[in-house]
Structure 1
Amino acid sequence: MSRNPVAEALTQHDTLILDGALATELEARGCNLADALWSAKVLMENPELIYQVHYDYFAAGANVAITASYQATPQGFAARGLDEAQALTLIAESVNLAKRARDDYRAASGSEAPLLVAGSVGPYGAYLANGAEYRGDYALPEAEMKDFHRPRVEALLDAGVDLLACETLPSFAEAQALVSLLAEYPESSAWFSFTLRDAHHISDGTPLSKVAALVNAAPQVVAIGINCVALESVTPALQTLQALCAKPLLVYPNSGEQYDATSKTWHSAPSGCTLHDKFPEWQQSGAKLIGGCCRTTPQDIAAIAACCQPQ
């Protein structure tokens, strides 16, 4: 039977704080991530920077670090001339960096808070590196989808993640394949986090009601939510999920800034709204795990962590 680290941690805290953007922080520290591998590139070139970002998020008050494996797949690394064994070693290293940051932070701070490492499993669309994780417009037979995900999932589990973060999922078929794949590792658990078309549908158009039914019936999926979405999309989608699903809800949206795909630049949102502003609203809408995705920082995470106190 799978362990449920989320339920265990929620016995100690009403709300678990997730970390924020990894890539944004790496870029701020001088990394050029204009690359199909995105932050996984830094696993090859400067892993200590990843360790430092994880440490800074724990120091800001995060309970959960998400590993730098979102775009780390044997297929992606093969394009860089790495064989599968080398790729799997790098995926394991993404876990080791997060675990070391957690252990060092705990030793330095004396913190007794629950501190988890979630192994990032990005969608097939992230490997395509063409924006497909926001559309879900790819069709791969379930067996091939499982074959794509299996090596990374196994490497993350073998390296000792507390759970998997199956995130930025745009496709119902991919979620079904991941539920089936998890059954091959019966002691594993995962959260599933989706991108949205609107407050009632994930990116490929599947109703959230159908997604919730899948997750409700999957004992190894211990939380469901949304990530990499605009701030204004969050509350209505959470309210939809709250009515459909008894499992803990999670949300880690982008910052309030807006992305211009033409110029590939970010601009301040007219509302000036922040994670901190929306945090109480999301709690009231049932969110139990809250953090940030693109363009969020340790300062953002510190601001929402300050809203939370242990029970």
Structure 2
Amino acid sequence: MTDTPSRPSLTLLGTGDMGTALGRAWLAAGHPVTVWNRTPARTAALAAAGATVADSAAEAVAANRLVVACLLDDASLGDTLDGVGLTGRDLVNMTTGTPAEGRDRAAWAEARGARFLDAGIMAVPPMIGVPESGAYVFYSGSRALFDEHRQTLAVAAATTYVGEDPGFAALHDVALLSAMYGMFGGVLHAFSLIRGEDIAPRDFADMLVPWLGAMAGLAHRTADQLQSGDHAKDVVSNLAMQAAGGDTLLRTAREQGTSPELLAPYLHLLERRVAAGHGHEDLSGVVELLDAGDRGGHRS
């Protein structure tokens, strides 16, 4: 008979919906977990699953070297760890924030003697701890911390390390979410167009989903154009043609009683780019209109 190897222990700060999902995954995999939450009652589910509940954030942090935070926002993280000793701790911040907050929090943690890793969770709670769900987490910051704890972190979701810059996890997270919400905006506009007609939304969705999947692949061409700096490379449907078609989209919206507010700003950008003499280019040139100029020294 052989002894089952013990799993590394960790501390979890924050037991909301996502924190609880993370805690359940680690506990189910055999990791001893110490938890803390500002509202103690919200630790009950994890306590019932075998977690140790700490009376304070300081006590929770003192219990383990690996400390994972999944709180409301960056300010909550600062408040929770204010005055808490972090020397020798490995702090993994799964709290949603901005790239600048990730960079500032890394410097803050390192000044207090901790290694720091920021994270961006690409999942909703039911996907956590379910390998086939497709859930994954972006990580950036200390490579040594990531390498040491990668197996433990991977219990909750697949891991994707995106660089030493602590702001990159949040940047990747927000960039993907921004693309998602832009797509959702188009989806809602499309469903509004067919409302009131003899078209079943479910039947329309059966056509919409594969169409969007086919079009999403064009992001590779956009990436190639941006990386080369040549917005006219491999153009299939130029900007002038696409901008001209925008009038049909807007007239159809008016006819169908659909507000153009989700679509009109995008079409306006196409028109501006064409008016500036770039009608021969592809859509990638519109990125130039979105660049506010000041990237704070972090433009890659």
Relative to the length of structure 2, the TM-score reads 0.30
Which structure carries more relative contact order (alpha carbon 8 Å, separation 6+)?
1
Higher-Rg structure is: 2
More helix by share: 2
